[in-house]
Amino acid sequence: MAKQPQPISPLKNFFAGGFGGVCLVFVGHPLDTIKVRLQTQPKPQPGQPPLYSGTFDCFRKTLVGEGVRGLYRGMAAPIVGVTPMFAVCFFGFGLGKRLQQRKPDDVLTYPQLFAAGMLSGVFTTVIMAPGERIKCLLQIQAATGETKYSGSLDCAKQLYREAGIRGVYKGTVLTLMRDVPASGMYFMTYEWLKNILTPEGKSVSDLSVPKILFAGGLAGIFNWAVAIPPDVLKSRFQTAPAGKYPNGFRDVLRELIREEGVASLYKGFTAVMIRAFPANAACFLGFEVAMKFLNWVAPGL
């Protein structure tokens, strides 16, 4: 295992992670819109074709019907939330690593890196759950033809007016079920790949841009391989009418399996995987660039 950069600074992780998250949203949001629309499209009536036959059909129909702006619909919510969310995510990972070190120069094992990544998933849920709820509702309303929300702020206000804070945070448990194990896989895979790609005797901080992009992109794919099933359940649950699933994700899971089979838990798989590599490559590259800048301007931070 290549030696990890020392010492670990959760505060630097906070600022660098925020910048990395912004990079991720700009690169990945169009395919996130496609993913959510595929996951939440209504079951077709007997003899009728589905609203979207697949990823590329959904992309084409969105582009033709709504233009490029349609692909970025609902982006205000993740942009507003993504900087603090990824800042907190990377802060949680840095803190998780720091808490497991007995000495500042301790090199963590991969199970310890996985545990630190899981802590980051817990940290981000407070910001992630309402942001995802608003994003998903805005992404699907254009496909339904009904304009209930004029934007992210209007959506948040209506949700709060209708059901209070519980309405805004609907889907929190499923967000945790998705992000805790997926975040562990995400960060552990990234650190593992960085170590593999680092030549003997060199530091991981000296990795080239292509290697960082490769490690970050592949980490994103590993992350979503774990996250897709709970993400499908979360999207369905967060966009369902109030009271449709009184027992939460268990009702969503039973309905999906009964009506559409186990394969329904992987709806949007193609869109997710196409998005995962470039979006997360951009995220980690942004993080590493910001981290180097912070090390240069504030070495003692």
Q: Which residues contact 93 (CB under 8 A, 6 or more apart)?
A: 13, 17, 116, 117, 119, 120, 183, 187
pLDDT category of residue 2 using cuts at 50, 70 and 90 = very low
Is it the case that residue 218 has pLDDT exceeding 70? yes
Nearest to 223 by CA among 286, 273, 176: 273
Q: Quick one: pLDDT at residue 301?
A: 75
Arithmetic mean of pLDDT, 81-93: 87
As a whole number of angstroms, the distance between CA 160 and CA 157 comes to: 5
Find out whether the peptide bond into 130 is cis, omega within 30 degrees of 0: no
Looking at every residue in the chain, the average pLDDT score rounds to: 88
pLDDT at 25 over 80: yes
- Using pLDDT thresholds of 50, 70 and 90, give the confidence band for residue 251: very high
Mean pLDDT of 48-70: 87
| Confidence at residue 220, expressed as pLDDT on a 0 to 100 scale | 95
pLDDT bracket for residue 82 (50, 70, 90): confident
Instruction: Give mean pLDDT, residues 272-289.
Output: 92
Do residues 252 and 237 touch, judged by C-beta distance below 8 A? Answer: yes
User: What's the angle, vertex CA 202, arms to CA 196 and CA 208, rounded to 5?
Assistant: 70
Does the predicted TM-score (pTM) go above 0.85? no
Q: What mean pLDDT do residues 15-20 have?
A: 93
